[in-house]
Amino acid sequence: MELDECIRKRISVKNYLNKEVPNDIIGLVLEAASLAPSAGNLQNWKFILVKDENKKADIAEACKNQNWMNQAPAFIIVCNDEKIITSMYGDRGKLYSTQDCAIAAQNIMLKAADLGLATCWVGSFDTERIKKILEIPEDVTPEMVLTLGYSEEKPEYHDREPVTRVTFFDKWGKKTDEKSLFPLGQTAEKYFKTISKQVKKQNIWEKIKSKFKK
């Protein structure tokens, strides 16, 4: 799948088909996770794949009784072995290690979308219960639970804030860049199409167009 399409097709799904995801497909998803960048290339993430129905039910209960999760045929719990990072970066390494796991999780969700799968990031849970259910060592932290399966629902894409509203130049709040005539994400051609109606009203369309051809 082309990258832009993959990014747009990744949405949070809470309704899944009763259809198993083959391990070889999940393997591709996890391989994509392992290719994520990490602080110092220390790769502090660990992944726990859960298909057992009883454990899934226990995990869903630990996730504040989000029982919809049980529809998904598989969970991937992304764990953070932060001591690998903090041994090199000290207290700052705690932040780096969490960031590493988040990037790996994003790779999981994008690769899942690429393979026709659906996911949902679940971050609200009882950490100690998850650790007990999955026998996670004391010094390792579960960062998020990702549900994985085939979507039963028709994707409904949620609107996002335009990039022009959330991007500043050189300092907070500055929304213009004197070095570029066109708004972010627009080529000259797209920009001309955007303003053509307004410009044509002023009868200067051809004049402006010819100027940019020089």
- pLDDT given at position 36: 98
Q: What is the DSSP letter of 40?
A: G
Mean pLDDT, the chain, rounded, equals: 89
As a whole number of angstroms, the distance between CA 28 and CA 32 comes to 6
Mean pLDDT across 83-111: 97
Task: Quote the pTM value.
Answer: 0.82
Let me know: does 12 contact 142? Beta carbons within 8 Å: no
Domain range summary for the chain, segments of one domain joined by +: 3-149, 164-213
* Bigger pLDDT: 213 vs 75: 75
**CA quadruple 155, 52, 84, 40: dihedral sign:** negative
Architecture of domain 3-149: 3-Layer(aba) Sandwich (3.40)
- pLDDT given at position 212: 58
As a whole number of angstroms, the distance between CA 36 and CA 146 comes to 16
pLDDT in tens, 146-189: 999 999 987 777 778 888 888 888 899 888 877 776 667 666 66
pLDDT in tens, 125-135: 999 999 999 99
Q: What is the DSSP letter of 151?
A: B
Is the pLDDT confidence value at 214 over 60?
no
Is the pLDDT confidence value at 47 over 90?
yes
- pLDDT given at position 157: 72
As a whole number of angstroms, the distance between CA 50 and CA 147 comes to 10
* Bigger pLDDT: 212 vs 64: 64
Is the pLDDT confidence value at 209 over 80?
no
- pLDDT given at position 194: 64
Mean pLDDT across 19-32: 97
- pLDDT given at position 160: 82
- pLDDT given at position 210: 59
